[in-house]
Amino acid sequence: MTGEIEMKLYVWKGFAPDYTYGLAFAIAPDEKKARESIEITLGYSPSDWGSLHVHTLNRRIAYAVAGGG
């Protein structure tokens, strides 16, 4: 046991929708810490977080969000 904290990737799709949907992500040990990190970054807590997808950090992963109208 090394005492290391297992971190995960938390991805919110459809985050804080206004005119278009956003995307938010954080690497943290749990969802609460991930949300806190995003709230600190934004300076507020959004009313709609969208859908959450949690990924362990033991494999490659990629997401892309295309813009446009």
* Domain residue ranges in the chain: 8-56
CA–CA distances in Å: residue 32 to residues 11, 27, 36, 38, 60: 13, 11, 6, 10, 24
Can you give the pTM of this predicted structure? 0.86
Distance separating alpha carbons of residues 58 and 55, to the nearest angstrom: 9
Question: Does 32 have pLDDT greater than 70?
Answer: yes
Q: Give residue 4's pLDDT band: very low, low, confident or very high (50, 70, 90).
A: confident
CA dihedral (42, 15, 62, 60) positive or negative: positive
